Amino acid sequence: MAKDNPGWWARNTNRVVHPDEQTPDQARRAKWVLLAFLALIVVVAVGVWALRVFWFEPAQTADSAPKPPAPVSTTSAAAPTPSSDGALCILDNTNRDITTTPPQATQWVIERWAAMPVVEGAGPCVQRDGYRVGFAHTQTGALLATYHYFVHATPSTAGKETRAIAQYALVDGPLKDALLKRIDAVLNGVEPRHTDADMSKIELRGYRMTYGGDTAVVELLATSVDGSVASGGTFKLVWLDGDWRVDPASGESLEASTTNVRVGDFVPWKAQ
**Within a domain: 93:** no
**Within a domain: 61:** no
Report pLDDT digits (tens) over 128-170.
Answer: 988 999 999 999 999 999 999 999 999 999 999 999 999 999 9
Q: Is residue 86 scored above 70 in pLDDT?
A: no
**Within a domain: 63:** no
Q: Is residue 12 scored above 60 in pLDDT?
A: no
Pairwise pLDDT comparison (264 vs 226), residue with the higher score: 264
Distances (CA, A) of 62 to 47, 65, 68: 22, 5, 13
Domain around 258: 107-268
* pLDDT mean over 89-105: 97
The fraction of the chain above a pLDDT of 90, given in percent, is 64
* pLDDT mean over 85-111: 92
pLDDT at position 23 is 62
**Within a domain: 87:** no
* pLDDT mean over 108-123: 97
**Within a domain: 228:** yes
> Is the whole-model pTM more than 0.95?
no
Clarify whether residues 131 and 44 are in a common domain: no
**Within a domain: 156:** yes
CATH number, position 247: 3.10.450
pLDDT at position 75 is 30
Q: Is residue 76 scored above 90 in pLDDT?
A: no
Strand partners, 268: 206
**Within a domain: 69:** no
Q: Is residue 34 scored above 80 in pLDDT?
A: no
pLDDT at position 48 is 47
* Domain count for the chain: 2
pLDDT at position 83 is 41
